[in-house]
Amino acid sequence: MKIKTKLTFGVGSLFLMIFLLAALSGWYVYRLKKDTGNILTANYNTLRYAKNMLLALEDMPTKHAAFFSFENNLNQQRKNVTEPGEQQTTDVIAKHFKLLKSSPQDGRGISAIRREITLLMQQNMTAIADKSLVADRTAEQAILVISFAGALCFIIAFILLVNLPSNIADPIAKLTGSIRQIAGQNYKERLHLQNTGEFSELAKSFNTMAEKLEEYSESKLDKILKEKKRIEALVDNMHDPVIGLDEYGQIIFANEEASHITTLKKEQLIGRSAGIVSNENDLIKDIFKDLALASDQREKRPIKIYANGRESYFEKDIIDINILPTGESNPTFIGQVVILKNITTFKELDLAKTNFIGTVSHEFKTPIAAIQMGIQLLGNEQIGHLNPEQIGLLNGIKDDSDRLLKITGELLNMTQVESGAIQISLHETDVQPIIDYAVMANQFAADQKRIKFVLEMDPSINTVLADSEKTAWVLTNFLSNAVRYSYEDASIQIRVEKKESAIQFSVTDHGQGIEPKYLDKIFERYFRVPGSKKGGTGLGLSISKEFIEAQGGIIGVNSEYGAGSSFYFSLNAS
Ligand code: ADP
């Protein structure tokens, strides 16, 4: 049955019951009123007239008004004849009264009238008793019928009260529960309502919706799985080793190449914590050691791995993955991907280039030395006089050959650094000879610009733990740069001071200084600040860095753009 029909039927039957009850009560009240009203008008009035007639009889025949009163009441009684036999009795009273009126002294007439009036009263009293009995019966019947109708109403109302709310509320509660299940992505949920009508329609629509959602979610899942497989295949087919980690450092994927170079099976990698795998495998330890560091603190040095039957070089790239969750404004870290780029070919080419530069610069050294020897001989007065123009040309050739020698020297050093062939011999070395060597090497250039070297050395410092040759080379390079980038008539401070357990050498000039944006680049190979004076290679500072770091020292620069620079390095005191 439809819910609307149910409601209409329920409320309608209640309404009908109330109406029936009211009609019945009204009907019985009306009947009772009619019964008692009958007694009042039909019998009570007759009794009143009879009583008045009896009283009038008492004064007869002496009082004339008594006749008038009697007649008056008799006339009223004639109009109020209601009971069987009452007409006859009234007529008899009227007949006797007529006789009495004509012969008032006849006493028999009065007693006859009294008898008849008593009969009339008797007749009406009997009627009153009968009617009261009828009224009683009506009242009893009313109580019975109304009670029955009331009980029926109560039963129907009770049945409706028990059934109707649950009939409506139960399916709604079931529907709410099922909607919650769907909201919780349980698309297998179905709604089963026994009722027919609107609720079964609702259940049918709900189930169709759930079925479609289930189909959709399955197809979506299928699509996601396909996408996942595609990405896995893509990662697997990459020639570079790739390892993915989640936000907790758990390995979530590793491609064939990664498993090949680490000699670990995929099962030994995937699903395991990076920390645990690192403890078992040194190569993995090397690969993962920078994971927790900030990207600018991670080591950039290539990793050497023995793979494919030869030594291979890999450049490690750790990518932090952050996503912006839907509806949020801050990105969330969800993991890292480690990619190892195979740079062996480049490394080999680089090595070939280094070897080539090394060979060439080495081969250049002998002819340059011969040229310098020739220049020296030519400048010798004993061999012959040179005119001023020839002397000028000879000086130009000397400067160029000096520069050439410096460049070949730097290139040779660089090839040594690049091939990892720097030989460092650390000894407790006197500081003074190092300074003297560097000053002497730059004195000529400084004199030309009238630049003075000012040495400020802590008198307590005598020795330093260093490779004297390499350290002197670095200080020479610092001084040569300082002279080159200082203005004429300037001064350059050479300071040697104690810094905790180290000895710091610094060269401070008052030249143009270096723009802050280039400060972290000037120690890179071949880097020259744009617009720098011509003639340099951009190798001096990078070689210096390698030389100092190879000795376990620290190198750096402080510079104020426009005011000068201060290059420093520190080495262990002993
Ligand atoms: P080079 O001097 O051969 O160009 P370096 O490696 O010695 O190479 O120096 C790299 C760059 O650093 C220079 O090109 C120059 O721009 C800058 N630089 C080095 N020393 C100074 C200095 N004392 N004052 C200003 N700039 C300097």
Question: In angstroms, what is the span from residue 482 Cα to ligand 1's centroid?
Answer: 8
- Say if ligand 1 is within 6 A of residue 558 CB: no
Nearest Cα to Cα of residue 509 among 558, 565, 562 = 565
- Residue pLDDT, tens place only, 236-266: 888 889 999 999 999 999 999 899 888 889 8
- Say if ligand 1 is within 6 A of residue 241 CB: no
Q: How many other β-carbons are positioned within 10 Å of the β-carbon of residue 125?
A: 13
- Give, using CA atoms, the residue closest to atom 11 of ligand 1: 528
pLDDT at 88: 93
Cis upstream peptide for 61 (omega within 30°): yes
- Say if ligand 1 is within 6 A of residue 529 CB: yes
Q: What is the chain's mean pLDDT, rounded? A: 88
pLDDT at 286: 87
Which atom of ligand 1 is the closest one to the Cα of 528?
14
Question: In angstroms, what is the span from residue 483 Cα to ligand 1's centroid?
Answer: 11
Kindly report the CATH number that applies to the domain delimited by 427-572: 3.30.565.10
Rounded Cα distance, 171 and 174, in Å: 5
| Residue in 510, 528, 545 to alter for ligand 1 test, most ligand atoms within 8 A of Cβ | 528
- Say if ligand 1 is within 6 A of residue 565 CB: yes
Question: In angstroms, what is the span from residue 480 Cα to ligand 1's centroid?
Answer: 9
Question: In angstroms, what is the span from residue 328 Cα to ligand 1's centroid?
Answer: 48
Tell me the domain boundaries of the chain: 3-169, 238-342, 349-418, 427-572
- Say if ligand 1 is within 6 A of residue 244 CB: no
* Cβ atoms 475, 434 nearer than 8 A: yes
Rounded Cα distance, 243 and 220, in Å: 27
Spans of the chain below 50 pLDDT: none
Question: In angstroms, what is the span from residue 481 Cα to ligand 1's centroid?
Answer: 6
Residues in the chain: 574
Nearest Cα to Cα of residue 395 among 371, 373, 377, 379 = 379
Q: Which CATH class is domain 238-342?
A: alpha beta
The alpha carbon of residue 422 and the mean position of all alpha carbons in its chain are separated, in whole angstroms, by 55
Rounded Cα distance, 482 and 462, in Å: 24
Which atom of ligand 1 is the closest one to the Cα of 539?
6
Which atom of ligand 1 is the closest one to the Cα of 482?
23
Which atom of ligand 1 is the closest one to the Cα of 567?
23
| Structural Rg of the chain based on CA atoms | 65
* Cβ atoms 411, 357 nearer than 8 A: yes
- Say if ligand 1 is within 6 A of residue 532 CB: yes
pLDDT at 419: 76
Question: In angstroms, what is the span from residue 522 Cα to ligand 1's centroid?
Answer: 7
* Cβ atoms 571, 551 nearer than 8 A: yes
- Say if ligand 1 is within 6 A of residue 451 CB: no
Question: In angstroms, what is the span from residue 196 Cα to ligand 1's centroid?
Answer: 93
- Say if ligand 1 is within 6 A of residue 480 CB: no
- Give, using CA atoms, the residue closest to atom 23 of ligand 1: 482
pLDDT at 515: 94
Strands (E), 117-167: none
The yes-or-no answer to whether 238-342 and 427-572 have a common fold is no
- Say if ligand 1 is within 6 A of residue 45 CB: no
Tokens read off for 130: 């009968």
| Residue in 479, 522, 555 to alter for ligand 1 test, most ligand atoms within 8 A of Cβ | 522
Query: β-pairing, 491-499 with 452-457?
Result: parallel
- Say if ligand 1 is within 6 A of residue 409 CB: no
- Say if ligand 1 is within 6 A of residue 506 CB: no
Tokens read off for 171: 């399916």
pLDDT at 196: 63
- Cite the DSSP H helix spans in 421-539: 431-448, 468-484
- Residue pLDDT, tens place only, 88-102: 999 999 999 888 888
